Homo-oligomer: A and B are copies of this chain.
Amino acid sequence: MSGYVTVTFEPAGVRATVPVGTNLLEAGQQAGVEIAGSCGGQGTCGECQVVVANGMVSELTSQERKLLGRELIEEGVRLACQTKLLGDAVVRLPSVQEVVVRKALTAESVRLVPLAPNVRHYDLNVPAPSIDDQRSDLRRLADAMTEQPSDLTATVQCLRSLATALRAEDQQIAVTTVGSQVVDVRPASKRSPALGVAVDIGTSTVAVYLVDLETGKHLVTAAGQNPQTKFGADVISRIQYANSHDDGLTTLRDAIVAAINRLIGQAVAEVDATPADVYEATIVGNTCMHHVFLGLEPRYLAQSPYVPVTAESFSVSADRLGLEMNPQGNVFCLPCIAGFVGADTVGVIVASELTRRDRPTLAIDIGTNGEIALWSGERLLTASCAAGPAFEGAQIHQGMRAAPGAIDEVFLNGDDLVVHTIDDQPARGICGSGLFDAMAVLLELGLVDARGHIVDSRSSGALSSAAARRVEGEGNERHVVLADAGQSANGPVVLTQRDVREIQLAKSAIRASTEMLLEMANLGPHDLDEALIAGAFGNFINPASALRIGLLPEVIEDKIVGIGNAAGVGAILALVSKHERDYARQVAEMAEHIELFRSSDFQDRFAEYMTFP
């Protein structure tokens, strides 16, 4: 074993034993740690930064000296791809590196709104009391505010420290309010930043966006896997877990709260702040995630007639939920619309200002579940597609998240295909955007027929020999090799017959739902101004592929716009502006949710769209 060393990656604490000389990027992959980087280990992007806490590693390369600069080098930062293990080592990942899907989760697409946060910071010089001014401490504080919230009140914890804080530095204090409630009072010199977090609880991924509420600036994104995944890949299996285990709901709830707390901790550490500086959190997520996060019984979401406990927007003190932020801070949950159209969809609508548009617009949020919202110009119709949760890879044989090594694009290459993987890593699986592309290319190549059968290459003379060689196996066991062993990390990446069926189900459900909503609004596809596609991978969807497989009507080819993780953007908007929060409430109020599965028209269409164009 002298040729092997063990490396431990903190803070996750995971380990890998690898040959001496393995670089940290490869060692990380072996340990299951995703170290972000965009040059595929070429030492050119400078993104795969890590800190070697202890152990023996190779010396700094010239690339590292060039890309990192003196300051980072003095902090002990190394580039994972350039650093080789010479002995056992402990490597720390900066929290920003734990962001799994960096591109998809950035909030760059936040539209500009006037800053009007619910959290306000006041630097006050409160007049000292005197016999002629016997106003209470709280009253003097309130009167010293330039824009005093009406009915100003204070938490009891805050009142307990008020008298001392006021007198510590000659009545110079920093006051933080949430709504009309004073939640923090500190002597001026102990002034904290006023931070907020927008939290997007996805079924697979949780993202925390840290925002400076005094400037509206988005500071840091921290994201990671939803730890509930180990109790079930989709919402239905998690509800079943909650139903069938003692304290199952508590287990699920504790897991997500712990994950959010960890991400908040990472995000604030990144800007040298503390969790207590976070005074408000806004929450989006599908209705099941919303219920589990709050500890509400999710059982009836999965049973007809699928009613939520509450769909209304909801504010609650952070300490009531165990969130590790300022305990007196506020947690605002955006409203949901129905059992399967949640606050995430409301976030998408807010982010895209769907109902403020003049012309009919469609918004589709494709994640582990699919939700569709149609704005007719007058009415807001919503529907859910619980039928096809395939596009995040959960039910795909080699499906994976959009992490390094995922096939994210597939191209026609003459009479064959070629794949691209995220960060140009050896292929490890396929993510949503890759699925769209692969399906479109396989149809184009004739490897899959209109009914969704992977063709028998021997009996199909029309196939090129290159393409035909990709088909292996027989009948339902048949599959198409997308990346062969030489291109892949752990054996070939294939698309199976069953995968094709899942894609058919999913795309058919979305297409049929879209057609139904259009019909209900007396609209045709040609009436649409735009079709917005949101979702973790929404920015990267190839509209041509979506059209090729029939996900959307062909006439809207030029109208497809990827809007990224719009649900998270909606949460950010609600965080920085009370008006956007009001808008979210209006959206939920005006939405007309349609249970499509009841309609025989829907069943007809669903069957119809199972075939590929």
Contact = CB atoms under 8 A, between A and B. Distances in A.
Interface of A: 129-131, 133-140, 153-156, 159-160, 162-164, 167, 294-297, 299-300, 304-312, 314, 316, 320-321, 336, 338-339, 593, 595, 598
A134 B339 contact: yes
B296 A163 contact: yes
Given A138-B310, A310-B138, A159 B294 contact: yes
A163 B164 CA distance: 45
B133 A320 contact: no
A305 B598 contact: no
Contacts of A312: 136, 138-139, 153
A573 B304 CA distance: 48
12 contacts: A130-B305, A134-B305, A134-B595, A136-B308, A136-B310, A136-B312, A137-B308, A137-B309, A160-B297, A163-B297, A163-B309, A164-B297
Contacts of A138: 309-312
A197 to B, nearest CB: 19
Given A139-B311, A309-B138, A295 B156 contact: yes
A287 B595 CA distance: 59
Contacts of A162: 296-297, 309-310
Nearest to A319: B320
B304 A154 contact: no
B159 A305 contact: no
B314 A134 contact: no
Contacts of A320: 156
Contacts of A338: 134
Contacts of A299: 163
Nearest to A598: B131
A308 B595 CA distance: 58
Nearest to A135: B307
Contacts of A305: 129-131, 133-134
Contacts of A598: 131
Contact of A314 (B139, B153, B300, B304): B153
Nearest to A320: B156
Nearest to A162: B309
Nearest to A167: B300
Nearest to A142: B312
A338 B129 CA distance: 13
B137 A321 contact: no
Contacts of A136: 307-312, 336
Contact of A137 (B129, B164, B310): B310
Given A134-B306, A134-B595, 11 more contacts: A129-B305, A129-B307, A131-B304, A131-B305, A131-B595, A137-B300, A139-B311, A139-B312, A159-B309, A162-B296, A163-B299
A363 B135 CA distance: 23
Contact of A156 (B133, B308, B316): B316
